[in-house]
Structure 1
Amino acid sequence: MISSILFKFGSSINQPKLKIQMRPSITIFVGPNNSGKSQSLREINDIFKNGSNPAGKVISEIEFQSYTKEFSQNILTSHLVPAKPGEGLNHDQAFVQFDSNRIIVNKNIFTASLINPNNIEQNFRHHFVNFYAKHYILSLDGPSRINLLNSQERGDLKNPSGIFSRLLVSDERRETLRKLVFEATGLYFCLDISEGSKISVRFGEERPPNERSLEDKTLDYMRTAFGANAVSDGIKAFTGILTQLHVGQPKVITIDEPEAFLHPNLAFKLGKELAKGAIEERKHIFVSTHSAQFLMGAFSSGAEVNIIRLTHQNGIGTARLLSGSQLISLMNDPLLRSVGVMEGLFYDSVIVGEANADRAFYQEVNERLLAIGDERGAPRTLFLNADNKQTIPKILEPLRKLGIPAAGIVDIDIVKEGGKVWAAQLTASNIPKLEHQSYADRRKNVLVALEATGKDFKMDGGIDLLSSEQREITENLINDLASYGLFVVPHGEVEHWLSDLNVDRSKNSWLRSIFEKMGSDPSSDGYIQPTEGDVWDFIGKVSAWMKDSKRKGIPA
């Protein structure tokens, strides 16, 4: 039904607006809070109801798929219903019905609008939306997902119109859904027709007998099976969404945060089934999510998955179509998976330290800045740790390729690392390759100067050990690296910060000691609040780079 979607912005300020060609598949919106994920779903729904989106903030336009004349006439014929007694029609008019919606259409305009659904001049787009498109989109938020399993009227089973009625008369679809639900929940999905004119959903611990009969064994089974209200909201939402996917009439489904109510394993399973089912059922599924498990489930299906990362900072929005191969590398690499790199998709920015102690300390510093509203703080930032400085590029590079401002923080002994190790830092920081040799030469000069002091420059003061000229060339290198998001601790190592606090600076006990000195109760006299200089300014510089929409180091 959808041919393409045009967004209002691209991957950065100077890049073209993102336009993606659409095939039946799942499209997943990711990004930090308030980036436009849920807004994009609302705007898709608005376009299907109104034909346009003049007040939209994320999506500029949807181009609908054009149908052939033969297909359009078949669609009209399949939805025709007779006039009721007393209803009059012109010769070119007809009644059509979509589920419970029965409307009058001009037959010629109906077919012409399906053939030319994007024609605004002759008003065909307006008619396409009103006659056809708006009847085939389903919007699912939290409450509506829970109510998908509410009992429904049985109606005429010879011509079933309700979703449960259609499911009841299709043994194949009912069995498919039952298998999916059982694999995910350990319960058997079944339909109960034993109560009046209603069809109700039940869940049993054993496979049900023939649901289409009223034999004693079927009635006995239904008496002991769980009603929909007796199972968790997660099971109800999971089952209801899959029912709409495989049996429902909508050709387009939008789902806001499908992971709500779901255990991570169930979110993974739902992502997998929605990705596969969208292609099998020829549907467009649009999802906004904060769940890495849902994402991983979608990719594990092997089906086509569109991932669009949205951001909105300082009044500037971005939309970037993420590479599936890059995301798969994040999920499959043991190191990246173990440190939770996938979570970076849902934050404004990421800071990567050398080790867990670095991560914990810098995160605490940032939290104290944010707590007092200090502009040096970095809001909505994920802190990760590598195994060491050599593995930082392995985390930075894939995140930056996804458009995520990922900053690395390293101790000053990074300058000891030459050759491929140093080149990997420059490549991950997206420093132009033509400058790599220059940076390599500068690193050597700085290392010579630091080693000439005769001291352990990492532990004994870093740049403070240098003469004015040597210090200048070292600071120039540090500042240039920082402009690309690689931040070197100028005075040596992480343990150097807050040096006025009298703590044990040894590796094994430093983090516990520094946290004890910093205090845990903001109302106590000994609690360390942010001040000017020191690590507070250092994190402020990292934060400023991440907030800068014109920052260096992020591929276009």
Structure 2
Amino acid sequence: MVVHRRSSPGWEAAPPPRLPSPGRASMAPQGDWMSASLFIEQLTFSGGASIPLEPDSIVVIVGPNNAGKSATLREILGRAGSAYSKTSNHVVTDMKVGRAGTFEAFLERLASFRLRDTEHYNLAALQIGDIFSKIKSSTSILSMLGVDFAKVPGSLLRAFWEQQSGFDSVAELFVYLLDLATRFKATEPADVFNLSTDIPYLPIQKMCVDPVLAERLSRYFQRAFGQALIVNRTAGSTLPLHCGTVPPLEPGEDRVSPSYARKLRALPLLQSQGDGMRSFAGCLLEVTAADKFVVMIDEPEAFLHPPQARLLGTLLAREKPAGRQLIIATHSGDLLRGLLDANPSALQIIRLTREGDLNHARALDSDRLRTLWADPILRFSNTLDSLFHEQVVLCEADGDCRFYASLLEAVQPEDTDTRIPDVMFTSTGGKHKIPAIAAALASIGVPTRAIVDFDILNEDSPLKGAIEALGGNWGEFEARWKRIKAGVEQLRPELETTHVRKEIEKLLGQVSTSIFPGDVAQEIRDVLKRASPWDAAKKQGVDAVPRGQLRQVAESLLADLKQLGLFVVESGEMESFVPTVGGHGNPWLAEVLRKDLRQDAHLEGARRFVRGLFSLQEI
């Protein structure tokens, strides 16, 4: 195949490039990625926090709407180039660019860009498709010095690599922002190029010379959309991408036969497909093929359904070449789950929040996140979505979440301009998971509350863990808790033998299988459990505590737990709010939610409890 690439000003004939060999290794640029790298070493935000970033890492920026996620990417790009933009940043107030490796290793990284018989480098191609870099080029240090991007002297690159004063803005050549327009651009037909003399810079050009890469990207696209991704090498002066079913080769036909070319032309062009397809393909094309040290993606999940967003997250983590730093701003818990599924070696999550004109940043502990992600409750719940909300309320079960979320909506004033906080209710799959999840959310600055049934006072675990996860001191609660526990347990009910025998015999009479059913075993345990005073306390709540001074101690303890963010249901459990409705769990909930949640008198206690979750200013 003989194709051409549009020449850049100052381009001189270069020796034939070393084309990448087929296989996974061909994804890396010429030279050793790990021998020289450039990366964002530290970001300082307007709220004052300075977050160190790791080289060769995936950095995910999350947070509520309007927290500054997309602006962070734009300002990183601005700080890498234009001196003017550094004075107008509102989110990122300072940035450090790190370098690893020697200058000689850096030049080896750029060997394919060197012009023949000179000490100059044609770096114009590094700006292909980078809209922001093109805009900034008029104010970059290169332009101010009258240097042509297509003929950059090695002395200037040395000044940049050795961090001589005034040359940091050369970093713009190695930092890339994939916004939506850039991703769409990547799916448009690429210029043809000369295989013997030109370097394939564009992703589609690289697919032409690397059939393994082309096949892998096609397979990913097939998995996401049920269609293959096919490069058309016979379209003339351009290299378009088609999608659909790969045409079969007939006897005597090959991939450059006119008959096969007609089959390809009949397939839909990728550039004419929906926004989701184009954005998905553009992300993968650029991440696998961009000749940049730092690649940033703004909302890669745009236009994608949740399963596709999760798949894209996994693929971005797997396909990121070694030695490259990937920075992603996202609103999607599904994309974040996909990244975690891939288990990359270095994953950092930064949560941004906004307070007036200040953007506050906190980094989640990566080891803690990995530990939590190994837990099925977290993996298969929506807990990670809490990173994108202003407030989070942890509940023991999904039904509790639905009940309290419905009540919160009901107590909010109608016809008011008061802003309602962005609150998410999420299930932890039982109270024993609350400490670990609350601690993780607290570590990244997510305001967290928890609603628990009264029987959390039965044991010191998970009560102690929940108190400490929410920032409390167990020593300030322990003595009062012990008094309450002893007071409840002195009221242990006595079981009647006749009643217990009758209940168990009834359950045993239902069993006809050789293997004893687990559900029947649980019901038998429930019968015996009624010997515990906490079975009654879960239904009665604070009324199970003996009256008098001990009741005052209990009310004091519950009030202090509320101040901490741990809301114990004083009436016992969710169902105790409306005892006039029978049943338990989902049947009870379905009946209650049919009521007028704003006005029904039986729900006044529940409405009062939910109002107490937040201050009057917040609701």
* TM-score after normalising by structure 2: 0.71
CA distance in 2, matches of 1:528, 1:93: 77
Q: 1:214 to 1:206 in 2, by over 3 A?
A: closer
Uncovered stretches (5+) of structure 2, i.e. residues with no partner: 1-37, 129-133, 135-147, 494-532
Q: What is the 5 A alignment of 1:1-400?
A: 1-8=38-45, 17-51=49-83, 53-66=86-99, 68-71=102-105, 79=113, 97-99=124-126, 102-103=148-149, 107=153, 110-117=156-163, 119=164, 122-125=165-168, 129=169, 132-157=170-195, 158-160=197-199, 162-163=201-202, 164-206=204-246, 214-229=256-271, 231-280=273-322, 282-315=323-356, 317-370=359-412, 372=414, 379-393=421-435, 395-400=437-442
Q: What is the 5 A alignment of 1:416-431?
A: 417-431=458-472
Q: In the alignment, is the contact (CA less than 8 A) between 1:188 and 1:208 conserved in 2?
A: no
Q: In the alignment, is the contact (CA less than 8 A) between 2:480 and 2:553 conserved in 1?
A: no
Q: CA deviation at 1:414?
A: 3.2
Q: CA deviation at 1:73?
A: 5.5
Uncovered stretches (5+) of structure 1, i.e. residues with no partner: 11-15, 84-90, 520-526, 548-556
Corresponding residue for residue 88 of structure 1: none
Give the secondary-structure state (helix, strand or coil) at the position aligned to 2:385.
helix
CA distance in 1, matches of 2:469, 2:325: 36
Q: 1:386 to 1:75 in 2, by over 3 A?
A: closer
Superimposed CA distance per residue, residues 95-145 of structure 1 (whole angstroms, 9 cap, x where no aligned partner): 76335685377737513432233x4xx3222xxx2xx42233332223432
Give the secondary-structure state (helix, strand or coil) at the position aligned to 2:229.
strand
Q: CA deviation at 1:23?
A: 1.0
Corresponding residue for residue 523 of structure 1: none
Give the secondary-structure state (helix, strand or coil) at the position aligned to 2:81.
helix
Q: CA deviation at 1:287?
A: 0.8
CA distance in 2, matches of 1:23, 1:336: 28
Q: CA deviation at 1:439?
A: 4.7
Q: Which amino acid aligns with 1:515?
A: L
Q: CA deviation at 1:362?
A: 1.2
CA distance in 1, matches of 2:109, 2:407: 62
Superimposed CA distance per residue, residues 220-256 of structure 1 (whole angstroms, 9 cap, x where no aligned partner): 4313333214544323222222221222223322211
Corresponding residue for residue 596 of structure 2: 518
Q: In the alignment, is the contact (CA less than 8 A) between 1:377 and 1:543 conserved in 2?
A: no
Q: CA deviation at 1:159?
A: 0.9
Corresponding residue for residue 35 of structure 2: none
CA distance in 2, matches of 1:246, 1:421: 46
Q: 1:183 to 1:76 in 2, by over 3 A?
A: closer
Q: Which amino acid aligns with 2:562?
A: A
CA distance in 2, matches of 1:430, 1:395: 13
Q: CA deviation at 1:258?
A: 0.8
How many residue pairs align between the two structures? 516
CA distance in 2, matches of 1:321, 1:200: 42
Superimposed CA distance per residue, residues 195-217 of structure 1 (whole angstroms, 9 cap, x where no aligned partner): 33111111241377699963235
Give the secondary-structure state (helix, strand or coil) at the position aligned to 1:517.
coil
Task: Tell me which structure has the larger Cα radius of gyration.
Answer: 2
CA distance in 1, matches of 2:246, 2:109: 41
Give the secondary-structure state (helix, strand or coil) at the position aligned to 2:56.
coil
Give the secondary-structure state (helix, strand or coil) at the position aligned to 2:94.
strand
CA distance in 1, matches of 2:104, 2:490: 80
Give the secondary-structure state (helix, strand or coil) at the position aligned to 2:614.
helix
Q: In the alignment, is the contact (CA less than 8 A) between 1:376 and 1:544 conserved in 2?
A: no
* TM-score after normalising by structure 1: 0.78
Q: CA deviation at 1:342?
A: 1.8
CA distance in 2, matches of 1:273, 1:166: 18
Q: 1:75 to 1:64 in 2, by over 3 A?
A: same
Q: In the alignment, is the contact (CA less than 8 A) between 2:59 and 2:328 conserved in 1?
A: yes
Corresponding residue for residue 558 of structure 2: 478
CA distance in 2, matches of 1:154, 1:454: 76
Corresponding residue for residue 581 of structure 2: 504
Corresponding residue for residue 13 of structure 1: none
CA distance in 2, matches of 1:255, 1:75: 23
Q: 1:172 to 1:412 in 2, by over 3 A?
A: closer
Q: In the alignment, is the contact (CA less than 8 A) between 1:449 and 1:466 conserved in 2?
A: no
Q: Which amino acid aligns with 1:368?
A: A
Q: Which amino acid aligns with 1:411?
A: D
Give the secondary-structure state (helix, strand or coil) at the position aligned to 2:562.
helix
Q: CA deviation at 1:426?
A: 3.4
CA distance in 2, matches of 1:429, 1:72: 48
CA distance in 2, matches of 1:352, 1:190: 47
Q: Does 1:404 align with 2:482?
A: no
Give the secondary-structure state (helix, strand or coil) at the position aligned to 2:327.
strand
Q: CA deviation at 1:518?
A: 1.5
Q: In the alignment, is the contact (CA less than 8 A) between 2:383 and 2:427 conserved in 1?
A: no
Corresponding residue for residue 569 of structure 2: 489
Q: In the alignment, is the contact (CA less than 8 A) between 2:244 and 2:267 conserved in 1?
A: yes
CA distance in 2, matches of 1:115, 1:169: 31
Q: Which amino acid aligns with 2:102?
A: T
Give the secondary-structure state (helix, strand or coil) at the position aligned to 2:42.
strand
Corresponding residue for residue 25 of structure 2: none
Q: CA RMSD in A?
A: 4.2
Q: In the alignment, is the contact (CA less than 8 A) between 1:308 and 1:321 conserved in 2?
A: yes
Corresponding residue for residue 552 of structure 1: none
CA distance in 2, matches of 1:541, 1:476: 15
